[in-house]
Amino acid sequence: MATAHQTAGPYWHMIDFPAWADLLRADGPNAGAEGERIVIEGTITDGDGALVTDAMVEIWHADPAGRYDAAFQGFGRCATNAEGRFRFVTLKPGPVPGRGNTLQAPHVQIAIFARGLLSHLTTRLYFAGEPLNETDPLLGLVPAERRATLMAEPVSPGTWQLDIRLRGGAETVFLDI
């Protein structure tokens, strides 16, 4: 039996290191890594549409070649700010092999930890307009009318926005992984 999750609570910032939101930071594990630099940002809201200003957001994604076993470490952490926003700087991931000889569209795994979440929520960010989105195995499991909740849109060159709604409204698709 695996140990039970418990909420990260409101004081998780004891392990917030703001530099980690920049995966390309000069003194980090990916310094000098080459690829397409992107910004990933968004706003998190709760069941009342109120801003979630105390969440811990983590990302995990493959390198530009779609690999997890190479040097690049696609891991970042960011606290949502007073506007409920998170922002990461990283390299755009490549397509990743799926199960059974399928190919997954480029994607970023997102984990959300916060007060009120007894275990973290998992979702994915995909990049709007990516041709592989049409055949991505996971997107294929998501009802068509809800896929937009996983689709980041370009808001300026290199900057992708994905807002996350925890509950109600256009609730984000969360994944049971």
Partner 1 sequence: MSDPIPYARPAPGTQPPLDSPAYRSTQGRAPLLAPIRAPHTLTETSSPRLSPLHYPAQADMSVHNGKAAMGERIIVAGRVLDEAGRPVANSMVEVWQANSAGRYHHVRDDHDAPLDPNFEGHARIFTDAEGRYRFTTIRPGAYPWRNHHNAWRPVHIHFALFGQGYAQRMITQMYFPGDPLLALDPIFNTTADEAARQRLIASFDLGVTEPEWALGYRFDITLRGPAATPFEEGDHP
User: Where in 36-75 is the site for partner 1 (CB under 8 A)?
Assistant: 46-48, 50, 52, 54, 58, 60-62, 68-69, 73-75
Distance of alpha carbon 175 from alpha carbon 155, whole angstroms: 25
Q: Which partner in partner 1, Fe ion, none is near 97 (CB below 5 to 8 A by kind)?
A: partner 1
Measure CA 162 to chain center.
9
CB of 88 to partner 1, least distance (A): 14
Distance of alpha carbon 154 from alpha carbon 161, whole angstroms: 6
Distance of alpha carbon 28 from alpha carbon 25, whole angstroms: 5
**Is 85 a binder of partner 1 (CB under 8 A)?**
no
**Is 7 a binder of partner 1 (CB under 8 A)?**
yes
Paired strand residues for 104: 96
* Residues in CB range of 176: below 8 A, 6 or more apart: 122
DSSP state of 22: B
Of 28, 35, 64, 95, the one binding partner 1 (CB under 8 A) is 28
Q: Which residues bind partner 1 (CB under 8 A)?
A: 1-15, 27-29, 46-48, 50, 52, 54, 58, 60-62, 68-69, 73-75, 96-100, 102, 104, 107, 109, 111, 113-122, 137-138, 141-142, 166-168, 171-177
